[in-house]
A = this chain, B = another copy of it.
Amino acid sequence: MNKNDKKTPKKRMTLKAVAEALGVSTATISNAFNRPDQLSANLRDHILKECERLGYNGPNPAARSLRTGATGIVGVMLAERLAYNFRDGCATEFLQGVSEVLDDARTNMLLMPGRDDFYHLQSMESIPDRYIVYGPPRDISVIERLERQQKPVVTVDFSLKNHLSLNVDNYGGAKQAANHVLKQIGSQGPVAVIGLRLIQSDIIGRIRETELLDAGVSISRQRLEAYRDAAADHGMQIPEELIWNTHESNWADGVKAAREALSAIPRPRALLCMSDQLAMAALSVARDMSISVPDQLRIVGFDDIPEARRSHPGITTVYQPSIEKGRLAAMMVLNPERFESRVLPTQLHVRETA
């Protein structure tokens, strides 16, 4: 009558139940799974086979983790909401790199937002054994919680005292890009910047200068400095009115900013964009306004996401090794003792827009 009268009613199997069924102690079963050297190969094989037959898939992670304090899960703490990271080409490539390595290492990846309210009344942060922190979290307090855990941490695209960090050469790349453009246009006409998150007004909580070393030196700031320095080198300057800000590297924001920038009088001869997404949006706006690229307008991006490569015309941009950055971050967090903090090189890729 009961819907459970199939084969075996089969309630949840536990290590203890298996031990009883096989007539051995729980320690032996545990050893079969965790320390093969503690028992004979024969016995172990037998036990594993029986477990399979009985439908026991191995130790319950919660119980094991409670006992050992480890889960085998790597936390990837993201700066913002999760969804953003599935929209942004650069973040997506980074996560691809991370997931490749973690997948190979049979390690699970838990994505965690960098917002304080997510952790309210729950210490989720205690689940992972180690952390990759991708970009400075929006709420500083999550960093504090995380540090209290005393677990290995690798920060990416920013630095934190006493932790491994992985950065790319934003300044160098941006300077190359700006130099390239400025050389082309000589000193004619103004140059505008389409920036990304230059204003971090939505960071909540006090910034502890001593610990969050680069809070004021965000990657966008580094790029902006480089643009400015390059301009100065060419005897020019980029006035504040020609610096646009976007909150997110997406199409809509890029279109909006580019439209404004290209309506300025006199019209800019070049657009230095802090991401390829923004550059591609700008390219599209130029097309709409019948501004020819690169003759009347030069555009450079940043990141070198796959779309930039395939765009027509191809976007001139600064390559950063996003996938490699992800792979390396994962390797670093799995073996912190084998690595030191690093700055990865960037590289100008000249294509058709500048």
CA distance in complex: A284, B55 (Å): 51
Q: Tell yes or no: A59 within 8 A of B by CB.
A: yes
Query: B108 and A110: CB pair below 8 A?
Result: yes
Q: Provided the pairs A99-B111, A109-B111, A310-B251 are in contact, do residues A123 and B58 lie with their beta carbons within 8 angstroms?
A: yes
A contacts with B: majority SS: helix
Q: Tell yes or no: A257 within 8 A of B by CB.
A: no
CA distance in complex: A83, B95 (Å): 8
* A83 contact from B71, B96, B251, Cβ within 8 A: B96
Q: Tell yes or no: A350 within 8 A of B by CB.
A: no
A102-116 residues at the B interface, CB under 8 angstroms: 102-103, 106, 108-113
Closest B residue to A307 using CB positions: B307
Shortest C-beta distance, A174 to chain B (Å), equals 25
* A103 contact from B82, B97, B102, Cβ within 8 A: B82
A85 / chain B contacts, CB cutoff of 8 Å: 99
- Selecting from A60-68, A261-269, A341-349, the interface stretch reads A60-68
Q: Tell yes or no: A121 within 8 A of B by CB.
A: yes
- Contact size range, A: 35 or more
Query: B108 and A112: CB pair below 8 A?
Result: yes
Q: Provided the pairs A103-B83, A112-B108 are in contact, do residues A66 and B58 lie with their beta carbons within 8 angstroms?
A: no
A95 / chain B contacts, CB cutoff of 8 Å: 86
Q: Tell yes or no: A229 within 8 A of B by CB.
A: no
Query: A109 and B82: CB pair below 8 A?
Result: yes
Q: Provided the pairs A103-B81, A113-B103 are in contact, do residues A61 and B310 lie with their beta carbons within 8 angstroms?
A: no
Query: B306 and A251: CB pair below 8 A?
Result: yes
Shortest C-beta distance, A278 to chain B (Å), equals 13
A123 / chain B contacts, CB cutoff of 8 Å: 57-61
28 CB contacts below 8 A, A to B, read A10-B148, A55-B148, A57-B122, A57-B148, A59-B122, A59-B123, A60-B66, A60-B123, A61-B122, A61-B124, A62-B71, A62-B127, A66-B66, A73-B110, A82-B100, A82-B103, A83-B97, A83-B103, A85-B99, A87-B92, A106-B117, A106-B118, A109-B110, A109-B111, A110-B110, A251-B306, A251-B310, A312-B312
Given contacts A55-B148, A82-B99, A108-B111, 17 further A-B contacts (CB under 8 A): A57-B119, A57-B123, A57-B125, A60-B66, A61-B123, A61-B124, A62-B63, A63-B66, A72-B122, A81-B99, A81-B100, A83-B103, A106-B117, A106-B120, A108-B112, A109-B111, A251-B310
